[in-house]
Structure 1
Amino acid sequence: MTSIEVQTNPFQNDNKQWLLSPHGTDPGTTPSITLDVSAFTQATHYPNGFIVSGIVLGKITANRKYGPYDDTATDGRQTAAGILFAARKVPNLLDLTKDVGSGLLVHGFVDPAKLPIANAATGGGFLDTNARTDLRMIHFAS
């Protein structure tokens, strides 16, 4: 039997003011990735249940998933791999082992002043000098 009850699904408009042009966003240019939700900090990265786009990401060596870039990490995230292209809903706030897929911006034009995570934020995910060096295919301009 088909249910016709009313359902609500939360969503968030994706704020991509940090993206200066569509260059690098064509289909097939933003690789599909899996986010390790347990690597993110709720207060910094998903205060309303959505991991925001524009977070600088690193690849965790052990599980090959992505988490917030952190220059002081020792699990692979100390090397910036790209920028989270699209906001993603955390599947279950009570079970952070449920990962989620998204896309990774690996080249393009970005306004660093409009990235969502401020320098020195708890849990990483922000752009620093080393991340700029790692992300050679992304042009950072204001």
Structure 2
Amino acid sequence: MPRFRSETFSTGDMSWLGSDHGIANSRTVTIDISTFTAGTHYPNGYIPSGLPVAVVGGVAVPYDATEGTTTGAGILAGHILTDQPVIGTGDFPAPLFDHGRVVVAKLPISFVKPAAAAKNAAHNIVYV
């Protein structure tokens, strides 16, 4: 008997987008799911649209907002564009929104734009 799985697809809550600029030009990144925590980053079984990420070693990891961090995880690369279901433990591709406008108050987690210019170097996002 084949193994069937039912899935529901959705883009998620994209109200955090401040404009449509950059949506069609989102680049693909590979999510390193081992660096994300189920209860924190995807409590509902999916990584939510708008989650901020960094790119370290060519893969997307959770963005570390700690201002004093010196790791690559402290350099904001952008935001996951659409909800990404987490199935199993394998890494998977996802669209990264790295230029355009973002409404901070609508992001799925509490977020403060990094103050240091070097921590904003990997994207071209205007936060409103």
Q: Residue 77 of structure 1: SS of its match in structure 2?
A: helix
- The structure richer in strand per residue is 2
Mapped pair 1:43 → 2:39: yes
Q: Normalising to structure 1: TM-score of the pair?
A: 0.74
Mapped pair 1:15 → 2:1: no
Q: Which structure 2 residue ranges, 5 or more long, are not aligned? A: none
Is the Cα–Cα contact under 8 Å of residues 50 and 88 in structure 1 kept in the other structure?
Answer: yes
Q: Normalising to structure 2: TM-score of the pair?
A: 0.82
Quick one: structure 1 residues 31 and 13, their matched pair in 2 at CA, closer, same or farther if it must change by over 3 Å?
closer
Aligned-pair identity in percent equals 34
CA RMSD of aligned residues (A): 2.6
Matches within 5 A, 1:1-142: 8-12=6-10, 14-26=12-24, 29-61=25-57, 64-72=58-66, 75-92=71-88, 96=89, 98-118=90-110, 126-130=111-115, 134=120, 137-141=124-128
Aligned length: 124
Higher-Rg member (1/2): 1
CA deviation map 1:121-140 (0-9, x unaligned):
xxxxx443347860662111
How many Å separate the matches in 2 of 1:77 and 1:42? 18
